[in-house]
Amino acid sequence: MTSLVPRSDFPALRPRGSEELAPAYLDSACMSLVPQDVLQAVSEYYTEHPGCAGRSVHRWAEEVSRRYEEAREVFARFFHAPDPEHLVHTRNTTEGINLVARGFPFEKGDRVLVSDREHNSNLVVWQYLAQEKGIRLEILPLPDDRPFDAEAFESALAKGVRLVSLFHSSNLDGRTLPAKEIVERAHDHGAQVLFDGSQAAPHEALDLAHLGADYYALSFHKMLGPTGTGLLYGAPGRLEGLAPLLRGGETVAWSDYGAHELLPPPHRFEAGLQNYAGVLGARAAVDYLQRLGMERIPAHHLRLQKQATEALQDLPGLRILGPPRPEDRGSIFAFVLEGVHAHDVAIFLDEGHGVLVRSGMNCVHSWYRSRGLDGNARASFYVYTEEKDVDRFIAGVRELRGHVKLGTATGPSAPARREG
């Protein structure tokens, strides 16, 4: 089996300079590659209709206004949102989470429940609100041997929770939480639910209406789209209850020297000139994935996950993070190699085998610090990943293992990277 899509669709997947092989890009959990269709859509905005949506009435502005709202309609159909007006254009998942967190009508003492493996985007803002508004941040430990513990979740809900905010799929170890069950249990206890969908949306067919979450945030830069593009979904009636994160141009119906009236959602949340080129590029990415068929992606990832697991799980000194079953780790293969710093693993794989992986704490400092770990290496797959890419990854890890004596330890030979 090869990749799900033609590699020629992705200009980045080409040999560079004197290289005989294209890079084996295994860092898609951080950012996916972009197909030519998306590049064309972005370029077309700047060359054919570079206007401001919703402002001027000349032909370019009218064209981009139509395409901008048409993209929202395409996203609503793709993610099965009840109506396009339930989708807010954002820059990324982080902005979507902050929009909910800063706009939610919290009162002092309200509890927010997050897991112990959340990305900083779904942790730091709640810590800030604990100081600013006096909310109470509760941490739900997740088991190491399976994706979820329903009994522990029920016990946490029984304390009284205003909002549950969890990842849908983890960027740390690839586990996917039972989102529908979480929503139903939380609603039974009177809590609302926000999901960080940045790792789930690129890899599975989402039905937001069926899922029933109150809010769902995602980024297009992880699903073939341009950087600086994302969505926040709000279930019927939920966006109306949020205060805008920003106020200004394009958010008001009228203003005078003493007052103003906000536009209805979603436009009240889209302040200022928007990333029109990015949104149109994101629409092209969704069209590309629609043609591919989202239902094909999980099986592709599982083949690659099994390939890497079977080849490396018994390698001395290598520990795979996350649930033991490949079926429970999605597109992410995260590991620690005894005696080798994660950054050195990444540099060796890049310089020696042309394999590009992530290293460090994956923006989940809290989990690593609580366990005294300085990070790990992480390979992640997507629709353009081939078995040959994984073969190169396996060969590189095995070679590195042969160079390092067990029981030794090294510090990073590269400077620490910013971790988000």
Active site residues: 363
Alpha-carbon distance of 220 to 90, in angstroms, equals: 10
The dihedral built from the CA positions of residue 66, 67, 70 and 75, taken in this order, carries a sign that is negative
**8 A C-beta contact, residue 284 and residue 37:** yes
Q: 266 preceded by cis ω (within 30°)? A: yes
> Could you tell me the two tokens for 44?
């077309």
Alpha-carbon distance of 377 to 358, in angstroms, equals: 6
Q: What angle do CA 361, 320, 33 make, to 5 degrees?
A: 60
* Sequence-distant (≥ 6) Cβ neighbours of residue 397 within 8 angstroms: 312, 315, 318, 335, 337, 345, 349
Residue that is written with structure tokens 């897991």 in the block: 115
Q: Find the length of the chain.
A: 420
Alpha-carbon distance of 161 to 252, in angstroms, equals: 33
- For every residue of 232-257, DSSP letters joined together read EEE-TTTGGGSPPS--STTSEEEE-S
Helix (H, G, I), strand (E, B) or coil at 375: coil
CA contacts within 13 A on the Cβ side of 135: 27
137 sits in which H/E element: strand 136-140
* DSSP code, position 272: S
Alpha-carbon distance of 55 to 42, in angstroms, equals: 20
Alpha-carbon distance of 366 to 351, in angstroms, equals: 30
